[in-house]
Amino acid sequence: MKILSAEFILSAARHDELPRDRLPEVAFAGRSNVGKSSLLNALLHRKHLAKTSSTPGKTRLLNCYRINEAFYFIDLPGYGYARVPVSERQAWGEMAESYITGRPTLRGIVHLLDVRHNPTSQDMEMVTWLLGLQVPFLLVATKSDKLSSSQLGRQLRETHANLAATGDLSILSCSARTGAGLPEIWRWIENII
Ligand SMILES: Nc1nc2c(ncn2[C@@H]2O[C@H](COP(=O)(O)OP(=O)(O)OP(=O)(O)O)[C@@H](O)[C@H]2O)c(=O)[nH]1
Ligand SMILES: [Mg+2]
């Protein structure tokens, strides 16, 4: 995909505050600190469009970016960050959940996992939930630059085996740092939008 323009549009606490022009949307979901905002930046060749941080809990609202005047990326708040007050965690969860179930223009979700770790119970819950909703989603194991190629192969097989109980799922690996796997992610995005 040739990126002609990519701009931040707004942050919303509710999905009905998002743009009403009915352009298709792709959302980025996953655990806090897994690398959602970094992947969004890498896909757009922009270092600082979405704010990233080594501290979990950076993205706290539905952040909306318009690309090529043609579609939106929605950067979702992450889940599973224990050091956030329960009330706030619930609010993020509800925000993401009501966005995913209530947004007709959502075409698909890029769901991130950390390639170094087996999926957490919350990852599994999320995947099961997405499967039940029948929203198209792509499972992506990110930070692949952190592993050697043999470690990467082993870890992907293990993650795949862990997810096999949930459904017949395929999983891509990528790195926001090196750009590995980004063309495959773009191919999927182009297909669903
Ligand atoms: N090595 C490496 N580090 C990465 C990669 N992607 C993200 N990171 C680092 O991981 C940390 C978290 O990245 P973010 O993109 O802010 O993560 P997030 O999922 O948006 O986090 P929240 O907004 O808090 O939910 C940052 O320190 C990034 O530099 C990657 O592909 N490789
Ligand atoms: Mg973020």
Q: Which residue range(s) make up the domain with 79? A: 6-192
- Tell me the DSSP string of 43-97: HTT-SSSS---SSS----SEEEEEETTTEEEEEPPPB--TTS-HHHHHHHHHHHH
Specify if 18 maps to a domain. Answer: yes
Specify if 1 maps to a domain. Answer: no
Position with higher pLDDT, 129 vs 168: 129
Q: What is the count of structural domains for the chain?
A: 1
pLDDT (0 to 100) of residue 135: 87
Query: What one-letter code names the amino acid at 37?
Result: S
Q: Lowest-confidence range among 31-35, 58-62, 71-75, 182-186?
A: 58-62
pLDDT (0 to 100) of residue 169: 86
- Nearest ligand 1 atom to alpha carbon 142: 31
Ligand 1 mean position, distance from CA 21 (Å): 30
Tokens 């179930």, residue located: 101
Q: Please give the model's pTM, rounded to 2 decimal places.
A: 0.95
Ligand 1 mean position, distance from CA 39 (Å): 8
Those residues with Cβ within 8 angstroms of residue 141's Cβ, 6 or more apart along the chain or in another chain: 112, 113, 114, 115, 155, 156, 159, 171, 172, 173, 174
pLDDT (0 to 100) of residue 21: 97
CATH number at residue 126: 3.40.50.300
**Per-residue confidence band for 89, with pLDDT thresholds at 50, 70 and 90:** confident
Specify if 144 maps to a domain. Answer: yes
pLDDT (0 to 100) of residue 149: 94
Mean pLDDT in the chain?
A: 92
Tens of pLDDT, residue by residue over 41-69, are: 999 999 999 999 998 888 889 999 999 99
Taking the C-alpha atoms of residue 168 and residue 41, their distance in angstroms, rounded to an integer, is 29
Ligand 1 mean position, distance from CA 113 (Å): 11
Specify if 124 maps to a domain. Answer: yes
